[in-house]
Chains A and B, each alone.
Chain A
Amino acid sequence: MAKIELKHMYKDYVEGVHAVTDFDLTIENEEFIVLVGPSGCGKSTTLRMIAGLEDISSGEIYIDGKKQNNLHPKDRDIAMVFQNYALYPHMNVYDNMAFGLKMRKTPKEEIDRRVKNAARILDIEQLLERKPKELSGGQRQRVALGRAIVREAKVFLMDEPLSNLDAKLRFQTRAEITKLHRNLKATTIYVTHDQTEAMSMATRIVVMKDGLIQQIGTPKEIYTKPANVFVGKFIGSPAMNFINTTVKENRIKIGEHSFELPKTVQEKLKSQGYSNKDMLLGIRPEDLELVHEEKKDLTISVQVELSELMGAETLVYFKIQNETIISKINSMDQFEAGQKVQFGINFDQIHFFDRDTELRVPTLDETLTNQKTKDKDRFTA
């Protein structure tokens, strides 16, 4: 239950490697922040700097207004869950959970109460006498969570806690962590490379790449208004489709097809100097809608390369301008390779990106500055 302020944090290694560059973020009380990005983007390093396990090259960390830079990890009032559980192998589950409290000289009765309470929450009461080697992967991860819960720390840090679990268990534990956060109300920072985890758990997501923050926003904002090409590609499964296009006389060209843009989009592009310019067009797979009839200037005709049934949905792969494009359709229809099909484009949801800077050009009813202000208002209200 704490406000965390991370002010212009940098992590540079001696060899000139910049692991984290200018990480600036304020995390409000009770928020569930997810740091997401590919391997090596600096998300774990950032978490470790907050935990005090890694020195900060420059910048400041405040928890509830108190500077943490020079504090030992044990003095920061944080609890951490590690990717590989990091349980003490020679202690049973009870002692693993009680160890942190014993170190803090908590009275025995209080330790017992907290451990049993956490065990009840996590449904591991029957495992308290067992050693870690006698537990399954899922049970070990619960113990690791339990170890954090008993501490009743102000801040929870979680470093990819689900990545070692199988798909079914990951899904189940993900929901449990979300519920746990709702009940405990601890400010949580969660690191993952899995965008599904980020989307489903976070109150706000921080997308990172090469040590730099790419975008901060709610899952919906990140998905519907990606700040740049990287975020568009990284968030969403399958990833956003990108097609080189030219905006000319209020029309755009996609392959051999030409489409007129909606009036609002035309005006927004024009006002920002993007008429008669080469751009990158971003279309989410679900914004390519399968239609049965070809209509000039409204549909695009393509040859199916592959179709994958994903359950209630089907992914259809085809090529436009030699780029593989994926469409996600809400049906269980299957398509033959080489089959001709038509797609309509949901122009209200398309995204334009500057081809040089790869930044998104706001064409919807917002600008990036508005978005940041909204973020701030949401938590200060």
Chain B
Amino acid sequence: MSNSMVGPKALRFLNILLIVLFCLAIILPFLHVLAISFNSGVDAQKGGIGFWPREWSFENYTEVFKQDNLLNGLFISIFRTVVGTVIGVALMSMAAYAMTIKTLPGRKQITFFVFFTMLFSGGTVPYYLVLTELNLTNTIWVFIIPSLYSVTNILLLRTSFNQLPFSVIEAARIDGCSEFKIFRSIVIPMSKPVLATISLFTAVGHWNDWYYGSFFVRDASLKPLATLLQEMLTRQAALSDILLRNSGSMAYSQLDKITVTSESLQMATIIVVMIPMVLIYPFIQKYFVKGITVGSIKE
């Protein structure tokens, strides 16, 4: 074998090794979480559970689904995720596309104005006051409207749009498209990978967010799933503490009934919250590929 062949082969081996290690770093913790979630909580506390449950139990999941308002919370979460993502990505991509138009009056100033907000944060209290002034607190729109823009996402989209072949946009202009038509019929279809990425970021952000539900709504019927689960975990942790402190005075029969711990419940919660996102991923995964513009222009 010539020396010139060793380099690329070694590099290939190193690449595969790194990818395998990276995959293991994601899959192993997931399997561990899954195993504990299906294991009796008390038994899990003894430790030693790897990637398969030792004492099978569905008690953790039963406990999670016992939660009041869970279905309502699920609806709120789905609503804010779908509506928030669709409107948010539509508005962010329109803003980003506008910022790529060189003839836009005040383009630099607008870009700076958007970017500037990345540098400072008003803090929770002023933010709360603003939301209250806008009559958004304790309404479902508090989950949607403030999250309609993300500067990071806008800048990501702008960079991506800037990389589209400009001649294609000019061709559309000559073909008779208005700017909005160019955006809708040319830019959007050519930007599916970045839009899929931004949509996933936004959707995951909406789905996982418990903060808005905890601080900006009081009505229990407006709490999204993530907030309900977070509140349940807090309650369960407190309950476990009480149980542990008082275990000496409790009857053995009572102690035997407790199979759920805050840790096992936490693991089941992670799985419950994660599943919808895991189910969505295969549908948008096909867009996470390069080469959507292949054939459009001579590279």
Contact = CB atoms under 8 A, between A and B. Distances in A.
- Interaction A to B: yes
Interface of A: 51-53, 72-74, 78-80, 82-90, 99-100, 103-104, 131-135, 137, 140, 147, 151, 164
9 contacts: A51-B174, A78-B174, A83-B298, A85-B296, A86-B168, A88-B168, A100-B176, A135-B295, A147-B175
Given A100-B176, A103-B176, A82 B296 contact: no
A86 B174 CA distance: 12
A103 B177 contact: yes
Nearest to B177: A103
Given A80-B170, A88-B168, 15 more contacts: A53-B173, A74-B175, A74-B177, A86-B165, A86-B168, A86-B296, A87-B168, A87-B295, A88-B172, A100-B175, A103-B176, A103-B181, A104-B176, A133-B295, A147-B175
B170 A90 contact: no
A134 B294 CA distance: 9
B174 A87 contact: no
A131 B295 contact: yes
A261 B78 CA distance: 93
A85 B174 CA distance: 14
B171 interface: yes
B45 interface: no
Interface of B: 165, 167-168, 170-177, 181, 185-186, 189-190, 291-298
Contacts of A90: 189-190, 292
Nearest to B189: A90
A88 B172 CA distance: 9
A306 B294 CA distance: 45
A104 B174 CA distance: 11
B171 A89 contact: no
B168 to A, nearest CB: 5
A88 B186 contact: yes
A85 B291 CA distance: 17
Nearest to A55: B103
B175 A84 contact: no
Contact of B171 (A82, A131, A132, A137): A82
A155 to B, nearest CB: 11
Ordered nearest first, which 5 A-B pairs have the shortest CB separation?
Answer: A133-B295, A132-B295, A103-B176, A100-B175, A89-B296
The residue in B177, B294, B295 that gathers the most chain A C-beta atoms within 10 A of its C-beta is B295
A83 B165 CA distance: 12
A78 B171 CA distance: 11
Contacts of B292: 89-90
Contacts, number: 88
A53 B171 CA distance: 10
A72 B165 CA distance: 20
Contact of A80 (B174, B295, B297, B298): B174
Given A74-B175, A86-B170, A100-B175, A164 B190 contact: no
Contacts of A51: 174
A135 B297 CA distance: 11
Given A74-B177, A103-B176, A103-B181, A86 B295 contact: no
A53 B168 CA distance: 12
B193 to A, nearest CB: 12
Contacts of A131: 295
Contacts of A151: 175
A89 B167 contact: no
Contacts of B167: 82-84, 86
Nearest to A132: B295
A164 B165 CA distance: 16
A245 to B, nearest CB: 46
A137 B293 CA distance: 15
A134 B291 CA distance: 13
Contacts of A52: 174
Contacts of B170: 53, 73, 80, 82, 86
Nearest to A144: B171
B168 A79 contact: no
B296 to A, nearest CB: 4
B190 A85 contact: no
Contacts of A140: 295, 298
Contacts of B181: 103
Nearest to A54: B170
Contacts of B298: 83-85, 137, 140, 164
A133 to B, nearest CB: 3
A126 to B, nearest CB: 17
Nearest to A141: B298
A279 B189 CA distance: 62
A74 B176 contact: yes
A89 B177 contact: no
A327 to B, nearest CB: 37
B173 A87 contact: no
B28 to A, nearest CB: 39
A134 B151 CA distance: 37
A74 B293 CA distance: 24
A133 B294 contact: yes
Nearest to A80: B174
A84 B176 contact: no
Interface centre among B181, B186, B296 (most CB of A within 10 A): B296
A87 B175 CA distance: 12
A147 B172 CA distance: 11
B294 to A, nearest CB: 4
B103 to A, nearest CB: 8
Nearest to A89: B296
Contacts of B177: 74, 103
A73 to B, nearest CB: 5
Nearest to B173: A73
A337 B9 CA distance: 49
A89 B294 contact: yes
A47 to B, nearest CB: 12
A99 B295 contact: no
Q: Which of B176, B177, B181, B292 counts the most A-chain CB atoms under 10 A from its CB?
A: B176
A128 to B, nearest CB: 15
